[in-house]
Amino acid sequence: MKLEDYKLIFAAIGLIGVLILTSPTLGLMLHPPNGEKFSEFWVLGSGHMLEDYPFNVTAGMNNSVYVDVDNNIGTPAYYVVYVKFRNEAESFLNVTSGTPSNLAPLYEYRVFLEDNKSSEFLLTFSFSDISFSKNQSTIGSLTINGVQFNLGKSASWDTVNHGYYYQLFMELWIYDPASKGFSYDNRFVSLWLNVTASV
88 and 173 together in one domain: yes
Per the prediction, the chain carries an average pLDDT of: 87
Same domain for 190 and 126: yes
Instruction: Examine the domain organization and report whether 2 and 100 are in the same domain.
Output: no
Q: What are the distances in angstroms from CA 29 to CA 37, 46, 75? A: 22, 47, 20
pLDDT at 26: 45
Mark whether 153 and 180 lie in a shared domain.
Answer: yes
Domain of residue 126, residue span = 38-197
Strands 56-58 vs 136-144: parallel, antiparallel or unpaired: unpaired
Within this chain, do residues 123 and 88 fall inside the same structural domain, yes or no? yes
Residues 180 and 147 in one domain: yes
Residue 65 or residue 134, greater confidence? 65
92: part of which helix (H) or strand (E)? none
- What is residue 91's predicted lDDT score, i.e. its pLDDT? 87
- Give the SS3 label for residue 88: coil
Tell me what the mean pLDDT of segment 11-27 comes to.
Answer: 56
**How far, in Å, CA of 147 to CA of 126, rounded?**
10
Check whether residue 22 and residue 62 sit in a common domain.
Answer: no
Query: Residues 6, 78: one domain?
Result: no
Using the predicted structure, report yes or no on whether residue 185 has a pLDDT greater than 70: yes
The total number of structural domains in the chain stands at: 2
* Residues 136, 140, 144: CA angle, nearest 5 degrees: 125
12 and 64 co-located in one domain: no
Burial track 120-140 (b if 16+ CB lie within 10 A, e otherwise):
eeebebbbeebeeeeeebbbe
pLDDT band at residue 6 under the 50/70/90 scheme: low
CATH number, position 174: 2.60.40.3880
Q: What share of the chain is helix, strand, coil (3-state, %, to 5)?
A: 15, 55, 35
Shared-domain flag, residues 60 and 147: yes
User: What's the start-to-end Cα distance of the chain, in Å?
Assistant: 95
pLDDT at 18 exceeding the cut of 80: no
Q: Is residue 62 located within the same domain as residue 1? A: no
Q: What is the pLDDT of residues 20-64, one digit of tens each?
A: 656 555 454 444 456 678 999 999 999 999 899 999 999 999 999
* CA dist., res. 66 & res. 47, Å (int): 9
CA distance 9 to 6: 5
Which residues contact residue 2 at a Cβ distance below 8 angstroms, ignoring those fewer than 6 apart?
none
pLDDT at 8: 60
**Do 105 and 136 share a structural domain?**
yes
Q: What is the pLDDT of residues 121-173, one digit of tens each?
A: 999 999 999 999 989 999 999 999 999 999 999 999 999 999 999 999 999 99
